[in-house]
Amino acid sequence: MNLVIVGAQWGDEGKGKIVDYLARDADTVIRYSGGANAGHTIVVDDATYKLHLVPSGIIYPGTTVVLGSSMVIDPQSLMEELSRLEAAGISWKGRVFISDRAHLVLPGYKERDREKDSARKTPLGTTGRGIGITYALKAFREGVRFADVFDSEMFIDLDEKDKAFIDSYRSSLKSMVFDVTAFMSGQKNKRVLFEGAQGVLLDLDCGTYPYVSSGCSSSFGAAAGTGIGPRDLDGVIGVFKAYTTRVGNGPFPSEFREDRDGNLGHTIREIGHEYGTTTGRPRRCGYLDLVSLRYACRTASIDSLALTHLDVYDTFDEIKACVGYRYKGREIADFPTSNEVLSSAEPVLKSFPGWKQDISSCGTYDSLPERARTYVSFIESFTAVPADIISVGSNRSQTILRKSFWS
């Protein structure tokens, strides 16, 4: 069975937590896109793990993890991350594999990424991890794949510095690089999780272009990025927060504004610890945007939702969600493509009474306060997708599962 976990907003929805939670019963976790621009956090009891490249199944000792074909991987960052895991008591040897079709991020790309972004009229606010440069070189057919590292002759011209960099990682990569297509054909009766990075709204095609990342971060990337066909995917779980966040620039119609919303942005950022896992940048915060969530559900075939950070609203008297946009006096119900519309649209807000109760130890849906369930039910009816997982805290144990995914 093949289950995709995709971010349904602009990233940082809690994908790492949800993948880790579901990985308990999975054989394999395969990450399908992006690179070290991602930061996926897993909290198990007192231990916190921050992953950038390694799939979030790694914490369970028996799980095989794979870095898929559409990923862009800096071998230095990968080896450093694996060393950190080893130091934290996670043994990884023999169960971490890399698709031979994945592309390498070479040392100079990160600097080029930062230079290129700061030279833009309006910078995107990239993570500076060389992601856009690597995907651009791939599209330009000038990239280096992990398979190429082991060819006796490189087909792409590289300078001596890059060649020396590759030489220094060849032996440590040797036992990890494999043909993911062949591997996947042996996974037919296994439980496989496909871990997305970024989110639908940061996808190159479906997202808020050009304020997006450069990989295929929507659910359809799961097939391309792992060497299977789209009909082999059995379900898509869309992860989203009870509110919305975004790092970097770009339109954000439901963003909290001081003149309208007082210090809500600051309050949510502090209660939710909304600072980037990769860059430490404060995340922009806003109301839950149901217009974009419904768009994400539709374009990414999301058939189950995983709602996270519901606990962040525990102390609020009132909670609002964006149910439409107002632009030039008319209401818009569908997520627009135009940046001009997205940037000047005003959110149409619906208000819900707060539950004013600590829900962080609720273990079942029925034990949630009625007002919290009303908020969840509204989201379900607006998107027409059930919220099958509800997260009430960062810890693995703070998760409410409303259905079994592996049957």
Q: Which chain residues interact with Mg ion by CB under 5 A?
A: 12, 39, 277
Comparing CB distances to Mg ion, the nearer of 12 and 289 is 12
* 269's tokens: 């950022």
Q: Quick check: 195 and 29 in contact, CB under 8 A?
A: yes
Find which of ligand IMO, Mg ion, ligand GDP, none residue 292 binds, CB within 5 to 8 Å per kind: none
Residue in 27, 43, 123, 279 binding ligand GDP, rule: CB under 6 A: 43
DSSP one-letter code for 67: E
Query: Is the distance from CB of 193 to CB of 5 less than 8 angstroms?
Result: yes
> What span, in angstroms and rounded, lies between the C-alpha atoms of 345 and 22?
37
Q: Tell whether residue 11 is a contact of ligand IMO (CB under 6 A).
A: yes
Interface region with ligand GDP, contact rule CB under 6 A, candidates 8-16, 118-126, 227-235, 365-373 = 8-16
Q: Which is nearer to ligand IMO, 214 or 383 (CB)?
A: 214
Is the Cβ–Cβ distance between 143 and 102 less than 8 Å? no
Which of residues 116 and 266 has its CB atom nearest to ligand GDP in the complex? 266
CB closer to ligand IMO out of 75 and 196? 196
Spatial separation of the C-alpha atoms in residues 35 and 44, rounded to whole Å? 24
Query: Do 374 and 383 touch, CB atoms closer than 8 A?
Result: no
Decide: is 392 part of the binding site for ligand GDP (CB under 6 A): yes
Pair 61, 24: CB distance under 8 Å: no
| 37 touching ligand IMO, by CB under 6 A | yes
Alpha-carbon separation of residue 184 from 24, 33, 71, 293, 383 (angstroms)? 20, 16, 16, 31, 32
Pattern 266-305, ligand IMO, x by CB under 6 A = -----------x----------------------------
Phi/psi region, residue 240 (left: phi>0; alpha: psi -120 to 50; beta: rest), is beta
20, 40, 52, 203: the active-site residue: 40
Whether 246 and 252 have beta carbons less than 8 Å apart is answered as: yes
Interacting stretch for ligand GDP, rule CB under 6 A, among 116-124, 362-370, 372-380, 389-397?
A: 389-397
CB of 117 to ligand GDP, least distance (A): 20
The interface with ligand GDP within residues 258-277 (CB under 6 A) comprises: 272-273, 277
Extract the runs of DSSP E, i.e. beta strands, from 40-162.
40-44, 47-51, 64-67, 72-73, 96-99, 103-104
Residue 11 Cβ, how far from ligand IMO at the closest point, in Å?
Answer: 3
- Give the Å distances, CA to CA, from 61 to 41, 81, 96, 165, 180: 17, 17, 11, 31, 21
- Is residue 309 among the annotated active site residues? no
Q: Is 132 in the site for ligand IMO (CB under 6 A)?
A: yes
Of all residues in this chain, which one has the CB nearest to ligand IMO in the complex? 248
Amino acid at the residue 299: T
Active site residue 52: no
Backbone angles phi and psi of 172, in degrees to 5: -70, -25
Residues 190-229, mask of contacts with ligand IMO (x by CB under 6 A): -------xxx--x----------xx---------------
Kindly state whether residue 12 participates in binding ligand GDP, applying the rule CB under 6 A.
Answer: yes
Residues within the interface to ligand GDP (CB under 6 A): 7, 11-17, 38-41, 43, 272-273, 277, 308-309, 311-312, 391-394
Which residues contribute to the site for ligand IMO (CB under 6 A)? Answer: 7, 11-12, 37-40, 124-127, 129, 131-132, 197-199, 202, 213-214, 247-248, 277
Active-site residue set: 12, 40
